[in-house]
Amino acid sequence: MKPSAVAYALLLVLYQPQTAIAADITYCKPYASKVTEVMIRMTWLRAYTSCLNSEGNPGVPASWLEVFTLVDPRSPAEVLDNAVTASIPPPGSVPAVGESGYAPGTPGWNAWCRRYFRSFDVKTGTVLMYGFRHRAACPG
């Protein structure tokens, strides 16, 4: 049995290459140059001050990892862990926000729940979800 022409057309539409929207090349070259200048300046200053503060003449780093630890003395794993955990707020510091974009119990949350659920009860903050027999907290 041969696949139909419609199936071939559908495959062509689904698997055609997608072009990405990128920044202009006339912007990217100067941008990369400026970022490189800043990195070189910061690395040079860090190497210079660590050399001045060392006892005796320090050895020249042989790998990128040694240069990395010269710039930031913490281990690379510690730096990555700190970068990830810094972006996650500690539990309880930020109120939970649902689909509405408001914290539960706020006027915006109540209005959203009232708008999308006719069964919303303001006193309990619950709704009767489709397909369930029991009331559940409003997902807003």
Give the pLDDT score at 32.
87
Q: Bridge partners of 137?
A: 126
Is pLDDT of 1 > 50?
Answer: no
Residue 67 lies in a domain: yes
Residue 3 lies in a domain: no
What SS3 class is residue 35? helix
Give the pLDDT score at 95.
60
Domain count, the chain: 2
Please give the biggest Cα pair distance in the chain: 81
Q: How far apart are CA 71 and CA 82, in angstroms?
A: 16
Instruction: Locate 22 and state its tokens.
Output: 């990128």
The verdict on 32 and 82 lying in the same domain is yes
Considering 58, 86, 114, which residue would you say is the last residue of a domain? Answer: 86
Residue 69 lies in a domain: yes
- 6-25 pLDDT, tens digit per residue, is 655 655 555 666 555 677 78
Give the pLDDT score at 94.
56
The verdict on 35 and 75 lying in the same domain is yes
The verdict on 28 and 81 lying in the same domain is yes
How many Å separate Cα 32 from the centre of its chain? Answer: 22
Contact between 113 and 138 under an 8 Å Cβ cutoff? The reply is yes
Residue 18 lies in a domain: no
Q: How far apart are CA 117 and CA 63, in angstroms?
A: 61
Residue 127 lies in a domain: yes
pTM over 0.75: no
- 41-83 pLDDT, tens digit per residue, is 888 888 888 888 888 888 888 887 777 777 777 766 666 666 5
Average model confidence (pLDDT) across the chain: 75
Is pLDDT of 109 > 60?
Answer: yes
Considering 53, 68, 86, which residue would you say is the last residue of a domain? Answer: 86
What does R_g of the chain's alpha carbons equal in angstroms? 29
Q: How far apart are CA 111 and CA 140, in angstroms?
A: 10
The verdict on 57 and 106 lying in the same domain is no
Contact between 101 and 110 under an 8 Å Cβ cutoff? The reply is no
- Domain hosting 68: range is 24-86
The verdict on 36 and 81 lying in the same domain is yes
Q: How far apart are CA 40 and CA 65, in angstroms?
A: 16
